[in-house]
Amino acid sequence: MKTTSKNKGIYLAISYFRKIGPRALKRLEKCFPNLSDILIAGQTKLVNSGLSAAISTEFISWRKKFKVEEKYEELNNHQINFLTWHDKLYPPLLKEIYAPPPVIYYRGQIINAEKYLAVVGSRQTGAYGLKVISYLLPELISRGVVIVSGLARGADQAAHRTALDNQGITWAILGSGLDKNSIYPKENKILAQDIIDNRGAIISEFPPGTPPYRQNFPQRNRIIAGLSQASLIIEARKKSGALITANYALQENREVASVPGNIFSNLSDGPNRLIANGAKAIIEIEDLLEIFNFTKDNQSPNKPSFTKQISKPVAKNILKTDVAKIVYKLLTNASDRGERITVDEIIKKSALDTSAINSTLSILELAGIIKNDLIGYYLE
């Protein structure tokens, strides 16, 4: 089916009526060669196309009130574009999955690159996970691999920042709308804008104004896996969103790779079990290069060292976030008094999310901006 300007408006409309999913829309396309006819079809015709009587009734009532022109204006106001699954720019790998989103919204640039790597992990990713990301990703980024992640705290945040710091392209897939009020977590609004400003994109199948409902994130994870030839799991608990992404990748016959970790850490439980069940173990950069058929012989001469710290430019970007500003102020106040400050004290005084605090402290420590001893944290 060719995507005409009129048809795009129909796809846009249906994306707002969340009870017609990808498979139902495929059936509607077969029954209505002129897709705009679904806006005038009666209940009998809609039911014959595969919709239930209840959903058909609800759709007929809904379409009377829906104004597609208002939605186009809303998208324009928020600088949001969209693609249907018939558009040439729609990512080819994503279109291959079992239930691709008929419409994806995006801000920034959508490019059809050759290689994509999904990088996911725990929101509580610590110094080990952050160090692994800063060690493994730059070589792939230098070879044009697009880094795909979910804009969450912890591993996602670090993966996006590493791509930006190495002049690479990164895509963030959200479980909410792309308007500024809906971006989640709110502390990553600056990161989202940095991605947009540096040839990347933030992407969602959810219309503007969609809150970050819990049930949206498994759907978001299938897109992360679907966009990518391979998914890299950094750190993850036994039950986590990162493992949902891995399962989606396996279902779509995509490569799943994991970084092994300390067997006494619950953050290593997910990756270690994936490896035990057949996932590719990543213990050096060459293991990742092999997935994308890159050879060691043509490896970049600027091979990073495992001891490389996160750069201070990355840390300075982290310091722009609301969480980091509060944490840094508490650290500064303690240092001015010649004192250390513990994580528990930061949590108590700031009332911030514990995972966000731990992630921020780890990044600042790896960047050499703060240090930690047996007493607590202090400014370097």
Q: Where are the domains of the chain?
A: 5-77, 108-298, 312-379
- 71-130 residue pLDDT tens: 999 999 999 999 999 999 999 999 999 999 999 999 999 988 889 999 999 888 888 888
Answer yes or no: is pLDDT of 4 > 70. no
The b-or-e profile of 189-207 (16+ CB within 10 A means b, else e) is: bebbbbbbeeebbbbbbbb
The b-or-e profile of 323-356 (16+ CB within 10 A means b, else e) is: bbebbbebbeebbeeeebbeeeebeeeeebeebb
Mention the CATH class of domain 312-379. mainly alpha
Answer yes or no: is pLDDT of 5 > 70. no
DSSP category for residue 305:
P
Burial of 115 (0-12, 13-18, 19+ CB in 10 A): middle
Mean pLDDT of the residues in the chain: 88
CA distance 335 to 197: 35
pLDDT at 314: 52
Answer yes or no: is pLDDT of 45 > 80. yes
pLDDT at 6: 63
pLDDT at 233: 95
pLDDT at 300: 45
pLDDT at 304: 39
CATH of domain 108-298: 3.40.50.450
- 282-339 residue pLDDT tens: 999 999 999 999 876 554 444 433 333 444 455 556 667 788 888 888 988 888 777 8
- 200-209 residue pLDDT tens: 999 999 999 9
Q: How many helices (H) and strands (E) does the chain have?
A: 17, 11
What pTM value is reported for the model?
0.79
Answer yes or no: is pLDDT of 48 > 90. yes
pLDDT at 308: 39
pLDDT at 335: 80
CA distance 369 to 121: 24
pLDDT at 125: 85
Burial of 109 (0-12, 13-18, 19+ CB in 10 A): middle
Give the tokens for residue 313. Answer: 């430019």
- 236-294 residue pLDDT tens: 888 788 999 999 999 999 999 999 998 888 888 999 999 999 999 999 999 999 999 98
- 131-153 residue pLDDT tens: 899 999 999 999 999 999 999 99
Contact 28, 38 (CB under 8 A): yes
E strands present in 177-317: 201-204, 230-233, 255-258, 280-281
Region 193-218 average pLDDT: 96
CA-based max dimension of the chain: 77
Region 187-197 average pLDDT: 95
